[in-house]
Structure 1
Amino acid sequence: MHVRKVTFAVTAAVAAGLALTACGGSGGGAGAAAPPASAPPLAATTPATTTGGGIVPTDGITPTGKASPAPAAAPSGAARPSGSAAGTTATPAGARCTAADLEISLLGPELLADAEQPAYAALHVVNTSARTCTLTGFPGIQVTDDSGRTPTPLTADRDTGFPATAVTLKPKQLANANLEYSDVNTEGSASGRRTCGLTASRAQVILPDETQPKQVKVTGGVDNNTLNICGKLSVQPFQGVPGVNA
């Protein structure tokens, strides 16, 4: 597949739409009003097993979307989410992670979707700061087709089957938020199954409790550094990676 890449213009409307999606709660409300709950693990960067058409998480989450029992809750003394401003003193350890703390990447799916499994991409963040910080909730994700077939951005819906809980990241530790969708057109002809309504090489991302979007390139995957989206796009909350964040 040949994808013509263009640079997205981040408008105020895109930022506003993303800000509604990116928040620290597990429901539909904005902001992070409730204290963080416990944090179940999520998919590792390179899953150990695959089946059907998507990445099958190896962290206790089954293909049916059932989460394994959560580990202990984050420390009750952790600071509540708050904004950061230039010129202020360093934020205390355990305060929320900001865009300045994290390196963000978007990894394409390793397998195509099929009748049994969707495709899974992963929004991957690494704490590159010198402090410990906490990430809680869903990222805001918007994508627009590179070819201009869909001028209106597609906003990822929250998968509320997974709890939005606090993930504490020490320096160099990581977290993932899985994106779930189909990259196969099941209603098309056999020759057009790989043609979707939206194919994007970049996405606009807003971290939980942030307001400014960041453009992130898609890297790797079976769709050649793109998200080839047929239909609905959903996103899970950020969760830690077992065996890595020890």
Structure 2
Amino acid sequence: MTHTSPSVHRAALLASAAAVLGLLTACGSGGGTSGAPRQVSGTAAPATGDTTAGTTSGTAPGTDSATNSGAAPPSGAATTGSARGTGGTRTTATSTRCHTSELRASVGRDDPGAGQENFPVVLTNTSGRTCTVRGYPGAAFVDSAGRQLGPDPKRSPGTPTTVTLRPGSSAWAGLTFSHPQVSGARAATPAALIVTPPDERDHLTVKWTAGQVPVGGNASSVFLTVLGPGTAP
């Protein structure tokens, strides 16, 4: 049997140990350091969110809509005229009615006949917009102190229609009563006629220069017709 010297035997053992240690080191590396953070190349795609005008991209503040994942808004969501951050449509009711501040009142020439006095009460659009009137105006005779003379006028039968008034255009209603000297009604001479446009509360004041009007008695009724286009029949 061949005898191996102790020095040779120790050298062989050291060589084997070095080889085993090298194998263990190579198996544990995994191609890099275990647990080190890895960086992914590229950038995250921007969130699309709600593209409604007036809102920022992504999730609108104060809503329960989709998050920054780029999900589309719920089906049926309004996208035109929407309020900021709500996704709903803001609707504003716009009235076309003529307001008192947009009108001027006047009384046209008397057209008498068979003891009747017939005056056109005219409303003229003095504003810069087109507006409408419909139905009966309100009216009352008053004295110089603003006290009403006689009862409110009655409404003559008629079918209200909507009258469109462009700037400068007019509508009229007939104011009719029996002359006091013919009817025998108690009479007074008004200082003014106050006129209230349909559906308005504020009135317009027109100086009255046509003499006496009936204010009491069985034949004291004053009548108003519905408004029609123009300034007279």
TM-score, normalization: structure 2?
A: 0.50
Please state which structure has a larger fraction of its residues in helix. Answer: 2
Q: Which has the higher contact order (CA 8 A, sep 6+)?
A: 1
